[in-house]
Structure 1
């Protein structure tokens, strides 16, 4: 009987890859298999460290890769225009130049949206895509879908419709001011604010450890981190999710942390099914980051699904 490796809280050491003149940090674990490799992509403000519990178990069955998007984690943080198209191209080039074969992409939140962009717009790179509480706007209801979870965190509370529209426009104006964005960045990067934010979006508060807070806080101290934060808020949204789903040819697995306060998963789920009726979907008792909160469940579901599609791709 095969023994499942215990969940580890120790990040796997990584390496750097040069992309468009910038240093990109990535992690590789496990050996090359007949089955497809996995590429794990973090959400807004996170990094490869956020996948440490998944890498520890999945590496027994897969060649596993994780990457820090440009502007996050240990990757470079140059002053430039950040967008879903930029990160899509980063992941596509990484798959082509480093992994060297089509891959199953799995992403959380902003990382999920970026993985969907790759699978839909660079289909030769993706054998499948796994979305964990994925961000991204739909065409039909742009007001309810945040481009990333941090913007959800700093939005005003829900108000009557007239006030909601007014406060939304006011927030957009405030975020458009460089000084206001800098002040906001200095606030949200404080460790106690990071902890409070995580405790709001994790159902299991014990999963919000000092290590997790430090892993999110540390990159915010890098040179250029404030400029990245400001640039992301000032750039337009990418392609709408419904358009991407209509372009998608590879299999899709949706893993929802049903207790996510940033996304109404029960309302968001049918939108994905409307445009991709053949997707596979599970709801887990977790918050915005199910891969970190209930890693054993996520790892088991991800493994079973990848093995099932490996027989047909």
Structure 2
């Protein structure tokens, strides 16, 4: 009997392979086209508010013709919070209310990150310092306490060494050490820093598997898995999907040698009052790295944060906020 429909006929493997190949090429071409169009398009709009544990108004200031997004709450001695590699404003969400009762708290998205513009540049340490100085000028802050997490701590160190009059006190939270690649223990961060893949290919993978990738990274930098709710993971993935984000991230590979040959060799020259805070369960840079950084900076204080990983200010804000208030208050 003749078959009544084609669905039951055997599928020619060659035809299947050709069809799948054509669809893959089409998907690849579409992704590449989107990447090119995104690079040529106007910068995305910056929302009026950011959704964190509470809705907070987002402000912007032009620095070197680029929009820098930031939060500005409270009054008193100014404190600037600086996020780390691949981070953004949300990593400081639990500091906004607690610290603003004592200080003027300014939290920025660095150029190339979060809601801020992502200009075509090398993102060298000296360029990032120029933007930070320009930001402080733009918001009319001649001097502030700088609080940096991870690579943000590296930027704070650079400010203390090159613009010492702009820094009052220094807080380094799970910060950037000397010999980064030797001391780094996070497989995900290591892969991100060592990849030689072009930005369009990384963007392609990010589009397809971004949520899985960000969940894997968060599981390494956050000690308590109960904090990684679907809402937190989805928010992190949305931030990772913002246009233009991948290319600035990939510049870290080229810029690490500049850190090692520059500011990293001068950490011992820091003269500012310094507090080093470290999560006891940090799987990016183990606590021994923090203890070494503390010993390198003469007169610094060291605070261990129990049950916390690489972003203890987010995992244990109760403990970290009290450490910050005690150290920064005159």
Indicate the TM-score class for this superposition, using the shorter chain for normalisation. 0.7 to 0.9
Counterparts of residues 222-241 of structure 1 (less than 5 Å): 222-240=242-260
Asked if residue 275 in structure 1 is aligned to residue 292 in structure 2, the reply is no
TM-score (norm 1): 0.79
Equivalent residue for 1:106? 147
TM-score (norm 2): 0.76
Q: For structure 1, which segment, 238-247 or 256-265, has the greater mean C-alpha deviation from structure 2 after superposition?
A: 238-247
Measure, in 1, the Cα distance between the counterparts of 2:145 and 2:255. 28
Q: 1:122 to 1:220 in 2, by over 3 A?
A: same
Give the number of the structure with larger relative contact order, counting CA–CA contacts within 8 Å between residues 6 or more apart. Answer: 1
2:275 to 253, 257, 261: 253
Q: From the superposition, tell whether residues 273 and 228 of structure 1 become closer, same or farther in structure 2 (CA, over 3 Å).
A: closer
SS of 2:324's equivalent?
A: helix
RMSD: 2.5
Name 2:53's counterpart in structure 1.
9
Alignment of 1:1-313 (within 5 A): 9-31=53-75, 33=76, 36-136=77-177, 138=178, 141=179, 143-146=181-184, 153-155=188-190, 172=194, 174-175=195-196, 177=198, 181-182=202-203, 185-186=206-207, 190-240=210-260, 242-266=264-288, 268-285=289-306, 286-307=308-329, 310=330
* 1:186, distance to aligned residue in structure 2 (A): 4.6
Residues 80, 231 of structure 1: 8 Å contact kept:
no
Structure 1 residue 90 displacement after superposition = 1.6
Distance 1:61 1:236, change over 3 A: closer
1:282-312 deviation digits (Å, cap 9, x = unpaired): 11110010000000111001000111xx2xx
Gaps of 5+ in 2: 1-51
1:218-273 CA-to-partner distances (Å, cap 9, x unmatched) read 2322221232233333444333454332331211101100101111222x134323
Point out the more displaced range, 207-216 or 64-73. 207-216
Q: Is the 8 A contact 2:269 2:297 kept in 1?
A: no
Structure 1 gaps, min length 5: 1-7, 157-170
Equivalences, count: 276
User: 1:89/1:130 Cα in 2 relative to 1: closer, same or farther (>3 Å)?
Assistant: same
